[in-house]
Structure 1
């Protein structure tokens, strides 16, 4: 990664709005809702510790990360505040040019109460977190519940910048699930994991977010155990069930919080399922089995596999890890941010072209020819120019390999044992070498990590790493070959991936899908487009918005130069929620599917006119 980008910090801009209301009743001895494997924890959040931003407001979210008074032993309140800060910063563009809070979006203070627990699906070995945020301004006349799942592999607050930011100020309760992933890392050396309140504890003392059983064999390479990779559960196959369980938890928690309004049911409470990225895929999978629970579903850039032309994430991610570095050296990407370092080709990408040639996968004689050949190979498998423009960030940040490492272990269900292709996960020192995690490092994992390595001082151990410029080649090739390997490991991986393929939702359920055309992580041509076409071919009528010049990570738009060529996707996600709300509560017609024309932001501050067809222009 470009060191200038790594050092970039978002500048603060002041904006704070205030919401108020009446607190719900917090039961002293709550009844255990179905499926929980821990006590339900309640906490009240007012003033400087509200639901939406933990009291930070937009100005605080734009500033430096909240500090811990004791870095080795932060309090639950400190951890919650920083987890919310990290989740906002991982999803939204809060930079000074991005327009958040001025052109779209807001971060008002929303006081209220949280109800959280560990829940467990039947057949799963590990729990997932569920959380209900109930604002004091809950609208008892228009009883609204938004159910969401974290984006990526993030922790429980991973959808707060979308579902929370939209629902809480409107008086909706918002239910969250980490869908079997999350940042509750287990430190194998000390035998510690994460309590319900985010602080660390020894295995066996009380329920933890994730811990291998004491008799489970732990690979010596896995000094840090990550639930998505090491649970052995293949959580992606159960994303829909995670969302359904979170919704049912929320209804039961509402019964206890507001007994004078009970019971809360699908018949008397409007329930909208909404998610971004993997969370978007999760709510679409939940739509297959909702049995009338939901009134509508909004999925933004969803990781979903269905229909003709659809491809599984592991299929195209492992392919891109091999060929995208070389393909992006083609002259057609000369002006693409992240594809050049100070106008020069990244040395590792040049080396990848040679490696592909030496291994008989390309045949060109020079870098330019090899890049063109690699690009042709990706285009033949469905990659478009816009998708590859977006993929420059994914490639430059080595996200393809990070995704493939975690997902290969999840699909192969290797648990805490040896991960496929000789990989492991461990705390890393400044020289990127594994070392025993310190108490300070481990304390911040829950609040700071994204649920997937590398990040928050935790990195990927690659035993196939070789000397030279193309060090990641052997491991990346091994991961790609798993997709076609006829052996037991390859067959197990394929069987797990097949369980992630979508089924049809009920035909009366309103579904709204929003996707950016420049998405280079979950390309629209492999996910939303074939999914929407498949629904239409089977008699359903989804709304599908394709947004020009929008890519996967709004947060990346704050990087110098990168936001110039794009617009954020969150405005369209919020607009889709507005339309679904109007449809659910006022029977307003949903809009037609459309390609939304936009104007790239350029070097100045985002203006509303650049958002094109955004409702309200």
Structure 2
């Protein structure tokens, strides 16, 4: 990095200023920012950037921050609860799991809180109409003589604080400005009955120019919809008609620009004539694109699309990337099968998991060994799913055990799910991960509206019998702080409107074709058919409106494919081999292979595949999970450390490798560094991941 060059420019025009140096321009508000920029200072005691004043102990506490008035929480109360929930959703804060000594707010930060300033606004990507939230957090420790910035797009479909415990924590503790975006996801819940949604601070509003999202329905359309489908919600990620994922890269780049605007508002050189000179610029600022899961994928896309040199390096964990399909290379783990059918889209493999996993839960291995399978997945529902699949010719065998085994075979052999992912998949099905992703992304890719009710699915609160009911006012008031952005969440469920009898919570709905409570399998098969472009049961092509919808989804998927070209930027991926949300044969692994094909010897991407690690560290606090798996979060922070050392000290990045941590075997045994071997600067040949002869080879 080099210091900014300054010209003596008192009274000169912006033209003359630009002629002096391309970076030396007046600090002007970006055109993509709409409305007011909200600004708040935090003293680092009563409140702060990282923990909302809760501190490390407060974040780990089971005592949930409360509202003074549950039906009218303040913006500050909503922010505190949002930070509490978003932090705990991504980081295992349970005793013995590493929190407090391996990672956490107090590690390397004795005060455990971060004083500083927070700026929040709404922005739009050119060509879109639905606003996206952007935020810049500037810690008091920020040094304008050594400026640094970290991107933190939200994980999953979370809101603006969705990466607070991951990229946010690491960047703030480094003294870097952290720039966040909700990526056009977040809560954005439009109650169609009351016509209200959330503002950027989480309070409720009925004004379109203040809301994160209100569905594009004319008053008479909304009235007709409500009369037929009362008490429903439209959700931003699913129903904005924007396919926000297609703009994730641009949103991250805009968040960086917003960050530079904020920094120069604070630290730029005052010219004395009402103008401020931009003295903190991409040329003198270290910028690391980061985050996890969907946020990691957004930062990868930003690096691919960065044609202005905004980003210096990339460090992401378990990124949701959909690599462009390239059959010119294969993937092989150890002496296992050669995988040529890699790079399936998220919609393809997730709809497959939604259809088949409920039956695969019933294999003898899963019944005996999969953690909490029986707790989260009623066996009778699983058997009904198997029976329905068999009757439709989608699994084969003579007994329910045979059907379950065949469902597992289909997921592993046809859809490329690694066997290491099988053990956690039942728990994820019980948490409705694949089901919720399938519904949300099918709608998003098709740019469908809430009124389209794709595959007869809608969103609403339900009672214990599964019937639709109004969401309680206190629950709606808390949505911003409690929701993960993708129902079922915070009291809003997936509803199968075409269920036998009446609209019913999908999880306990009976399919019309079977009259069995089979998790609304008809709806899930409909989503799979739209993803495949043909009827899954009959194998025939879709026609009419279904064909048009399927084509729209295919276009949406094409728009989010990653190119594999990181423009020679140094980059680090860490991914857990047991990732049961984003199967590695369709995400990180093929992206590495594609990058090798695109950039070849110029590639600076390193890939670290972590054994005994998975996608959702928060589950490590559960019995049967934390004793078998280690926190991927620990290695994500190590990846950020490696990129930092590479960019600031020119330390070489370690070669791509398999890392072999050892689980602690019992939740009573505290996790220590002894369980977590380092990423090696010179790994053994038996641990190296290599790309040779058009094949990505990964050791067992």
**TM-score, length-normalised on structure 1?**
0.91
Corresponding residue number in structure 2 for 1:97: 96
* Residue 469 (structure 1) shift: 3.4
* Residue 468 (structure 1) shift: 3.2
Cα gap change, 1:375 to 1:282, in 2 (>3 Å): same
Asked if 1:51 corresponds to 2:67, the answer is: no
Cα gap change, 1:311 to 1:568, in 2 (>3 Å): same
Higher mean displacement: 430-439 or 402-411: 430-439
* Residue 304 (structure 1) shift: 0.7
Secondary structure of the residue that 1:350 maps to in structure 2?
helix
* Residue 59 (structure 1) shift: 1.0
Given candidates 320, 342, 354, the residue that maps to 1:303 is 320
Query: Separation in 2 of the partners of 1:245 and 1:353?
Result: 47
Asked if 1:34 corresponds to 2:99, the answer is: no
Given candidates 579, 592, 597, the residue that maps to 2:655 is 592
Query: Separation in 1 of the partners of 2:105 and 2:265?
Result: 30
Asked if 1:75 corresponds to 2:71, the answer is: no
* Residue 564 (structure 1) shift: 1.2
* Residue 116 (structure 1) shift: 0.7
Per-residue CA deviation, residues 597-616 of structure 1 (Å, 9 max, x unaligned), is 01112212212111123579
CA contact (8 A) 2:384 2:518 kept: yes
Per-residue CA deviation, residues 484-513 of structure 1 (Å, 9 max, x unaligned), is 234111111111111111113343211111
Query: Separation in 2 of the partners of 1:256 and 1:177?
Result: 20
Corresponding residue number in structure 1 for 2:410: 377
Query: Separation in 2 of the partners of 1:567 and 1:237?
Result: 33
CA contact (8 A) 1:571 1:614 kept: no
Asked if 1:613 corresponds to 2:659, the answer is: no
Asked if 1:577 corresponds to 2:580, the answer is: no
Corresponding residue number in structure 2 for 1:362: 395
**TM-score, length-normalised on structure 2?**
0.81
Corresponding residue number in structure 1 for 2:383: 350
Asked if 1:287 corresponds to 2:303, the answer is: yes
Corresponding residue number in structure 2 for 1:396: 430
Q: Which residues in structure 2 correspond to 1:38-187 (within 5 Å)?
A: 38-46=35-43, 47-63=45-61, 64-107=63-106, 108-187=112-191
Corresponding residue number in structure 1 for 2:352: 319
Asked if 1:561 corresponds to 2:577, the answer is: no
Cα gap change, 1:559 to 1:582, in 2 (>3 Å): same
Cα gap change, 1:80 to 1:341, in 2 (>3 Å): same
Given candidates 521, 524, 547, the residue that maps to 1:476 is 524
Query: Separation in 1 of the partners of 2:239 and 2:198?
Result: 15
Secondary structure of the residue that 1:113 maps to in structure 2?
strand
Secondary structure of the residue that 2:138 maps to in structure 1?
strand
CA contact (8 A) 1:339 1:345 kept: no
Corresponding residue number in structure 2 for 1:442: 476
Query: Separation in 2 of the partners of 1:391 and 1:342?
Result: 14
Q: Which runs of 5+ in 2 are unaligned?
A: 1-26, 107-111, 270-276, 328-341, 500-509, 534-541, 682-700
Corresponding residue number in structure 2 for 1:238: 247
Query: Separation in 1 of the partners of 2:479 and 2:653?
Result: 42
Secondary structure of the residue that 2:572 maps to in structure 1?
strand
Larger Cα-atom Rg: 2
CA contact (8 A) 1:406 1:452 kept: yes
* Residue 332 (structure 1) shift: 3.4
CA contact (8 A) 2:300 2:566 kept: no
* Residue 483 (structure 1) shift: 1.4
CA contact (8 A) 1:115 1:132 kept: yes
Query: Separation in 1 of the partners of 2:377 and 2:320?
Result: 33
Query: Separation in 2 of the partners of 1:197 and 1:321?
Result: 34
Question: RMSD of aligned C-alpha atoms?
Answer: 2.0
Query: Separation in 1 of the partners of 2:532 and 2:282?
Result: 44
* Residue 128 (structure 1) shift: 0.5
Per-residue CA deviation, residues 218-243 of structure 1 (Å, 9 max, x unaligned), is 44447212100110000011111111
Q: Which runs of 5+ in 1 are unaligned?
A: 1-29
Per-residue CA deviation, residues 139-178 of structure 1 (Å, 9 max, x unaligned), is 2232100012101000001011111110101100000000
Per-residue CA deviation, residues 69-92 of structure 1 (Å, 9 max, x unaligned), is 000111111010001001001100
Cα gap change, 1:146 to 1:525, in 2 (>3 Å): same
Give the total of aligned pairs.
Answer: 586
Query: Separation in 2 of the partners of 1:106 and 1:609?
Result: 22
